[in-house]
Homo-oligomer: A and B are copies of this chain.
C-alpha cells in the first residue's frame, strides 16, 4: 500500500493512466499536473497546475517515458498548454523526493543532480526492458506482416542481437514457423540461440548470411546493416530496425538500393498502451513503496 504517500504526475500518455489508476488503488495521495483535458475517471486524484507550491511535499514525482526535452518541456497528450519543468520547480522539491521517468535527457539529469534529488530511469532497468520486449515483439510481428507480401511462416528471417528484444523476437518467430537465424557475437549468446533450437551465426559472417534473407530484424544500437551488407541482400528483403534512434541501418543506402527499411517507433506505447502502462505501474508502485519503506527505516 502507498497510504500517506504523495505521488505527483506531470504529463504523459495513455500508459500513464494505468500507473495513476494503480497508485490510487494503493491509496496514495495523487496529484495530476497537465491532465486538464482528461475527463477524469479518477475520483481519488486532484488536478493542479504546475506551480512550486504543489511540488513542495511530493514524495514521488512521475514524469512521462521521455522525461523532458532539452529545454525542460514535458509532453502531455492530456494538456494543450505547454508544461515546462524549470529550476524553481526543482528547488521546490523536498530532498526526500524521488523523480521517476522512462529515460532522462541531460537537461533533466543536470537539473536534479545539482540539488541531489535522486532520479530513477525505468527503461534502464533490466526487468522493465524484458517486460517491454513483449509488446515490442508483437509490434514487430505486426509491422512485418503489414510490410511484406509473404507469410512469416516459412520465410527466411534474421534477428540481429540476442538482447532483451532479440530473444523475445527470435522465440516468437521460431514458434510461428519462420526459418530463424540469430546473429550474435558473444559465445554465451551463440550457445543460448543453439539451446533455443534456432540457428546461430557470428556477426562477422553477416554479409554471407543476408543473401537469402526475407526479413531482417535489427536490435543492435550501432551501424551494423552497412551499405556493404545491404548490397548483398535481395531487393525484396524487408529491414525492421528496432534499435533506438538512429538505429543500426544505413537507411540512405537502403533507399537508394530499393530495399525497404523502417525504423520502428516506440512500439509498446503504440500497439499495447494498456499493457505497457501496466508494466510501468507494476514496477513503479513497487519502487515507490520500497523508497518510502527505506526512508522510514533510516528515519
A interface with B by C-beta (< 8 Å):
14, 134-135, 137-139, 141-142, 145-146, 148-154, 172, 175-177, 271-275
Contacts and interface: CB of A to CB of B under 8 A. Distances in A.
Contact of A175 (B138, B146, B176): B176
A275 B154 contact: yes
A95 to B, nearest CB: 38
B176 A153 contact: no
A137 B177 CA distance: 12
Contacts of A177: 134
State the copy count for this chain: 2
B176 A151 contact: no
Given A14-B149, A149-B14, A176 B273 contact: no
Query: What's the dominant secondary structure at chain A's contact region?
Result: helix
Given A172-B175, A172-B176, A175-B172, A141 B151 contact: no
A97 to B, nearest CB: 31
11 contacts: A134-B153, A134-B177, A138-B145, A138-B153, A142-B142, A142-B145, A150-B274, A150-B275, A151-B275, A154-B275, A172-B175
B150 A139 contact: no
A176 to B, nearest CB: 6
Contacts of A139: 145
Contacts of A141: 141-142, 145
A16 B129 CA distance: 44
A171 B154 CA distance: 16
Nearest to A15: B149
Nearest to A268: B151
Among A137, A142, A145, A177, the most chain B Cβ lie within 10 Å of the Cβ of A145
Closest CB pairs A-B (n = 7): A175-B175, A149-B274, A142-B145, A151-B275, A151-B272, A150-B275, A134-B153
A200 B139 CA distance: 28
Nearest to A135: B151
A115 B275 CA distance: 60
A141 B145 CA distance: 9
